[in-house]
Amino acid sequence: MEWLKEPEKHFSSQEVSDFQKVGVCVTQFHEKLNVTQSTASQHLSILHRAGLVTTSRRGKWTYYKRNEEAFHQLKEMIGHEI
């Protein structure tokens, strides 16, 4: 999640404006993590189902962004519950 918070620091092969618009391509995760693309996709899919990331498609590629609203809501909930 830290990588998606500041993708320009962690993924250098993509334009910064692309990070802000569409997010990080699953291919970049699999290369950085040194796992297969299907493994990276499975983990990102779990984060998506949990509502922690959003996805967008460009052709055959899926891009992921942090869902900042979900993190804000989680922070508020934790602040009230603890």
Three-class SS of 10-37? HCCCCCHHHHHHCCEEHHHHHHHHCCCH
Amino acid 52: pLDDT: 95
The domains of the chain are located at: 2-81
In 3-state terms the chain splits into helix, strand, coil percentages (rounded to 5) of: 60, 15, 25
pLDDT in tens, the chain (82 residues): 888 988 888 887 655 557 777 889 888 898 899 999 999 999 999 999 999 999 999 888 899 999 999 989 988 888 876 6
> What's the token pair of residue 36?
């297969």
**DSSP 8-state code for residue 59:** T
Task: Provide the 10 A C-beta neighbour count for residue 9.
Answer: 9
Tell me the CATH class for 2-81: mainly alpha
